Structure formats: structure tokens, C-alpha cells
């Protein structure tokens, strides 16, 4: 019998305990051993969670308990969780976590510490979708060419509602908060940071790349407005918040941003709160993984799968697929300024003669080639220019946007969304 201690018995932790209890028949048959939750750490000892486990508010009661084989870390946060996990590993306990922020900052230190003991984190990326297993084990024969995914259900829900039901950004944000999909401060989701944490984990498995959130391009969906959705639909695109990792020679580009993506792509067809991640390998071609990216039971499904894996095989695979940094590969992070893309721009201008000529001249001066241009009335005295470009360089686009923003007839900083 294996004994589990759960640090943080909230929504996910309660689901973990429930699954280990309710699905014990298949779990023990698959694991080859019974697995039980012995105890859990909570903040509030008085709350009834409907679980038959011993409860404590002192993390030492689990870390010092010699009977506990596996520690499930669901406390969240970065540094405090890092200390707790280090202590658990140091005490010889296997660790399973759903904590993406912890991994976004400390995954390589953790891989070093967990050289001989299992440390697993399937639930940290895309909730119930077994994307870590698929990428690290299932696609291990491939050089990974790209990863592109919808890694944040809140943003995908908002984009889907704006597209299908014509809801405004502000209205759908409010609704998402009421439904519990978005936090009171929604920045972590709509600003792209949650997706970035997940992307960094996948990039380590695919490329052995060590990068932190500060090192990569992170933008959110907070600039997307109904006008942009309308443009996208007219030209056969969906707008999604995407996490993208792409190999380009010996450079890897990592970026999170809203993107226009052709409606024909499988990723574009993923709607609502669902997550989906497309992985292209040099041998296997495109594969795609779809499912619930959040929620107590879906996330706990991944936590428990890790526990079963540990029961079956103990430590088998290096935590991140290979050592840090991937030796001999020479892969380096591409500087953000060098990323190339097609771009969509929305420029709000005063409706005067000569404006179009001035704008198109600036595009030309920055070596940016226009693919389509629409002018749409905004108010009685202003218009929106909706422009898509051919492939251009991030630094050229940014300096052009800076210049356009300064023009006397431009009413706001242009909004830019990349096209993938």
C-alpha cells in the first residue's frame, strides 16, 4: 500500500482524495498496489470536506511522516512551495504537483534535486489532457518543430463568446468573473501569464530550453475588441490566445499572444473553456491533444495518473525529458525582436484627407508590406484602419507602431494582433 499526503486540500486536492477513494477499483488494478490518502494540510481545520482523511494545518506533519510515500503539492505560489517540495524530496518522498508557477521558475533546480526520485507534474499544463506524457514519452523520437496551443480556458471562453455571440470584451469579462472562470483581478489569465508558465514547461521538454517568464514575449487578449473579431471572421480567421514554441534553425522562439489563425486549422475549431495543444514533430507530423484544461476533477485526474505512474515504475524518466540545458544541441532562445510573423493592425484615425497616404508611406518606410486594408467608420469624425501585413519582423512592427502612435491624426496607440 502506498500512502499519499496532500498539501493544500482545496478544489483540486479534494478531487484527488475523492478519485483515489471512488475509483480505487481501477486504480489499484492499474497501479498494482492500493493507494490511499493518509492526511492533508489545510488552512481552515473547521471546514468539512466530506473526506475520511486526517487533517492538519502544519506541513511538518506530512513532511516528517515516515509512512507517507508521495506528497501532492497543491498549495500554489512559488517560493514557499519550492521550499516545501525540496524538503519532501529531501526526505525521500516522491512529489506530484499541479503548480505551474513553481515549474516556470524552478523546474531545472527541481530536476537536479529529483535526479533519483520521482517528481511529476502532468496537471501543471492543460489540466486533464495528458500532454506531458504525450510530449515527453509519446513523441520522444522526434525533433519538435513547433508547439502551438490554447492553454488558457478562460481566454478561449471569452474569445469564443465574442466570436459566436457578438458579446463585447467588457461584458464577457464580467460574465466570466461571475461564472468563476476569471478572477477578480483577471490579469494572470487575460494577460497571458498563465499560458506562459505552461509554455515554458513544454518548451523544456521539447527543446531543453531554460527560460523564465521574464525572458519571453507575453501579451494577452486585453486589446481584442469586437472590430477585430469582425475583421477576423470576414477573412476566415478565428482569434485565440496561443502559446507558441517554434524551432527556427538553432533558435527557439517562445511567445504568448492573441493571434488570428485560419478557421481551417484544428486549433481554431477548439471553442469554449476547452484547451488544445498542437505539436508538430519532424517525423510524426502534426498531432493534437484536446480536453478540459481546468476544473477540480480534470486536474486531479492528471495528479492521480502521476501517482499511479510512480506506483508502477518509481522513477523512470528524467523529469523534463532530458538534462538541463540539452547538451550538445546548441538551441538558444530567439530574441523577441527577431520574431517574424504576419500582423494585423487596427489604427483609429481622424477621418481626414491624406491620412491613408501618410499611413501607407510609413508602412513602406519600415519595409512592411500590406496584404489587405479596410477602412471602417468608427465615429462621425473617426475611422478604423484594419490592416493585415505580409511577414515582417517584430522590431520593425514595434518601431512602426511607435511612429504611427505619434501622428497628430492617430487617436490611440494602434492595436496589433499577430497572424499565425
- Interface positions with its own copies (CB under 8 A): 15, 19, 23, 25-27, 29-32, 122, 128-130, 133-134, 137-143, 208, 266, 269-270, 281-292, 295, 297-298, 300-305, 307-309, 312-313, 316-318, 321-323, 326-329
Nearest distance from residue 47's CB to its own copies, in Å? 22
* Burial of 179: CB neighbours in 10 Å, binned 0-12, 13-18, 19+: exposed
Query: Between residues 168 and 330, which has the closer beta carbon with respect to its own copies?
Result: 330
Query: Between residues 201 and 305, which has the closer beta carbon with respect to its own copies?
Result: 305
Residue 198 catalytic? yes
13 is in an annotated binding site: yes
Q: How far is CA 259 from CA 161, 223, 360, 419, in A?
A: 16, 11, 23, 5
Instruction: Tell me what percent of the chain is helix, strand and coil, each rounded to the nearest 5.
Output: 40, 25, 35
243 is in an annotated binding site: no
Nearest distance from residue 147's CB to its own copies, in Å? 14
Q: Checking DSSP bridges between strand 237-248 and strand 285-292, what pairing results, if any? A: unpaired
Q: Which of 148, 151, 259, 253 is nearest to 211 (CA)?
A: 253
In angstroms, the CA 131 to CA 121 distance is 10
- C-beta separation of 253 from 245 below 8 A: yes
Q: Which of 198, 240, 247, 334 is catalytic?
A: 198
100 is in an annotated binding site: yes
Residue count of the chain: 420
8 is in an annotated binding site: yes
C-alpha radius of gyration, the chain, whole number: 24
Query: Between residues 312 and 361, which has the closer beta carbon with respect to its own copies?
Result: 312
Query: Between residues 142 and 336, which has the closer beta carbon with respect to its own copies?
Result: 142
354 is in an annotated binding site: no
Q: Which three cell numbers stand for residue 178?
A: 461571475
Nearest distance from residue 232's CB to its own copies, in Å? 19
Q: Which of 387, 411, 396 is nearest to 365 (CA)?
A: 396
Query: Between residues 266 and 391, which has the closer beta carbon with respect to its own copies?
Result: 266
Nearest distance from residue 254's CB to its own copies, in Å? 18
In angstroms, the CA 145 to CA 279 distance is 8
14 is in an annotated binding site: yes
Nearest distance from residue 97's CB to its own copies, in Å? 16
User: Binding site for NADP(+): which residues?
Assistant: 7-14
User: Binding site: which residues?
Assistant: 7-14, 100, 183
Residues classed as catalytic? 198
Amino acid at each position: 500500500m502506498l500512502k499519499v499526503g496532500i498539501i493544500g486540500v482545496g478544489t483540486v486536492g479534494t478531487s484527488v482524495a475523492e478519485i483515489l477513494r471512488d475509483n480505487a477499483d481501477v486504480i489499484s488494478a492499474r497501479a498494482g498496489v492500493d493507494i490511499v490518502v493518509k492526511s492533508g494540510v489545510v488552512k481552515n481545520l473547521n471546514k468539512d470536506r466530506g473526506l475520511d482523511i486526517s487533517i492538519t494545518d502544519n506541513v511538518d506533519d506530512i513532511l516528517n511522516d515516515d509512512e507517507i510515500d508521495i506528497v501532492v503539492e497543491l498549495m500554489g505560489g512559488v517560493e514557499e512551495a519550492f521550499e516545501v517540495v525540496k524538503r519532501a524530496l529531501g526526505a525521500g518522498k516522491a512529489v506530484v504537483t499541479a503548480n505551474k508557477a513553481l515549474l516556470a521558475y524552478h523546474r531545472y533546480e527541481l530536476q537536479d534535486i529529483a535526479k533519483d526520485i520521482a517528481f511529476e507534474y502532468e496537471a501543471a499544463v492543460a489540466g486533464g489532457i495528458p500532454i506531458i506524457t504525450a510530449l515527453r514519452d509519446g513523441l520522444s523520437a522526434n525533433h519538435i518543430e513547433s508547439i502551438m496551443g490554447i492553454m488558457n480556458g478562460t481566454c478561449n471562453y471569452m474569445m469564443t463568446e465574442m466570436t459566436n455571440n457578438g458579446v463585447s470584451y467588457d461584458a464577457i469579462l464580467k460574465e466570466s468573473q461571475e461564472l468563476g472562470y476569471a478572477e477578480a483581478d483577471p490579469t494572470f489569465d487575460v494577460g497571458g501569464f498563465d499560458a506562459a508558465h505552461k509554455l515554458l514547461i513544454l518548451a523544456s521538454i521539447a527543446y531543453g530550453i531554460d527560460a523564465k517568464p521574464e525572458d519571453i514575449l507575453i501579451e494577452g487578449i486585453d486589446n481584442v475588441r469586437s472590430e477585430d473579431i469582425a475583421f477576423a471572421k470576414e477573412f476566415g480567421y478565428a482569434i485565440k490566445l496561443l502559446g507558441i514554441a517554434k524551432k527556427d534553425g538553432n533558435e527557439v522562439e517562445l511567445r504568448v499572444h492573441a493571434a488570428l489563425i485560419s478557421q481551417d486549422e484544428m486549433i481554431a475549431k477548439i471553442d469554449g473553456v476547452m484547451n488544445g495543444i498542437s505539436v508538430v514533430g519532424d517525423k510524426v507530423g502534426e498531432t493534437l491533444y484536446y480536453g478540459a484544461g481546468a476544473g477540480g476533477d480534470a486536474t486531479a485526474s492528471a495528479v492521480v495518473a502521476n501517482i499511479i505512474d510512480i506506483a508502477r515504475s518509481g522513477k523512470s524518466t528524467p523529469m523534463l525529458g532530458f538534462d538541463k540545458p540539452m547538451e550538445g544541441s546548441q538551441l538558444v532562445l530567439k530574441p523577441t525582436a527577431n520574431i517574424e510573423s504576419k500582423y494585423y493592425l487596427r489604427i483609429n484615425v481622424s477621418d481626414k484627407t491624406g491620412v491613408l497616404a501618410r499611413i501607407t508611406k510609413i508602412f513602406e518606410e519600415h519595409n512592411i508590406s500590406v496584404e489587405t486594408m479596410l477602412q471602417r467608420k468608427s465615429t462621425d469624425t473617426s475611422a478604423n484602419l484594419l490592416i493585415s501585413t505580409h511577414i515582417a519582423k517584430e522590431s520593425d512592427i514595434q518601431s512602426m507602431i511607435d511612429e504611427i502612435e505619434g501622428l497628430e491624426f492617430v487617436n490611440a496607440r494602434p492595436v496589433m494582433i499577430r497572424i499565425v
